[in-house]
């Protein structure tokens, strides 16, 4: 009899426990749902918000690194000249300008050139194709010929050519053949220049020699001399 009487009590107790578990699960489910809604609204747990910020900052840092990489790639490699070299370039270019004025006085296009090596003048010349009846008698060619004779070698490694106007294709080819180290010129020639304006023969990587180019030394004086010469011929 006692066993039969205890059966209903045990069943009721089990039902109560199931109801309690169900209520607990419902409450837990409600809390999780509220937490998810709070996260979507931007007021969720600090840990998850922190991860979101970390991802955002990480993407910003990655973007900045890519920008710096592109900037470094796009920036050209410049070789700044020392103050002593800049002063030397200007001094020798002014001497080349004196040769150009001599050419103008002789009725030639005013271009002057000279070749230097280790602080020593190897050759200098003014433009002279008309007087010599020689289409190759540009100032650069004449200066290179004289420099080669003085050096006793048609190769002039370590030498620098100073010329008041950007070399043409013919003269640029001679610069490569002479194995000059540098070319310093005054005014650019946008129509026939072969050292960076129309062509870049001394800097062409397909050739077996390249010369360093320095442009714009005494450029205004060089350009003014040429403009005055041609203005007087009109």
Return the active site residues. 140
Longest Cα separation, the chain: 145
d(CA 201, CA 218): 22
Residues 6+ apart with CB under 8 A from 32: none
Question: Hey, which residues does 183 pair with through a beta bridge?
Answer: 161, 213
Beta strand 182-187 pairing with 212-215: parallel
Asked whether 209 and 179 are in contact (CB, 8 A), the reply is: yes
């Amino acid at each position: 009899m006692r066993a039969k009487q205890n059966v209903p009590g045990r069943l009721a107790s089990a039902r109560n426990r199931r109801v309690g578990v169900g209520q607990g699960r419902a409450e837990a489910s409600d809390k999780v749902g509220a937490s998810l809604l709070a996260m979507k609204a931007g007021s969720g747990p600090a840990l998850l918000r922190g991860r979101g910020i970390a991802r955002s900052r990480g993407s910003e840092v990655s973007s900045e690194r890519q920008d710096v990489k592109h900037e470094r790639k796009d920036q050209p490699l410049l070789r700044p000249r020392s103050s002593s070299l800049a002063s030397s370039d200007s001094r020798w270019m002014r001497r080349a300008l004196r040769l150009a004025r001599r050419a103008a006085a002789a009725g030639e296009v005013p271009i002057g050139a000279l070749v230097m090596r280790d602080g020593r003048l190897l050759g200098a010349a003014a433009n002279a194709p008309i007087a010599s009846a020689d289409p190759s008698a540009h100032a650069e060619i004449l200066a290179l010929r004289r420099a080669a004779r003085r050096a006793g070698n048609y190769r002039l490694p370590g030498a620098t050519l100073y010329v008041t106007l950007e070399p043409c294709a013919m003269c640029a080819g001679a610069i490569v053949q002479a194995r000059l180290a540098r070319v310093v010129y005054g005014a650019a020639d946008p129509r026939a220049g072969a050292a960076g304006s129309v062509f870049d023969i001394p800097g062409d990587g397909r050739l077996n020699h390249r010369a360093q180019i320095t442009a714009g030394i005494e450029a205004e004086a060089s350009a003014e001399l040429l403009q005055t010469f041609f203005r007087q011929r009109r």
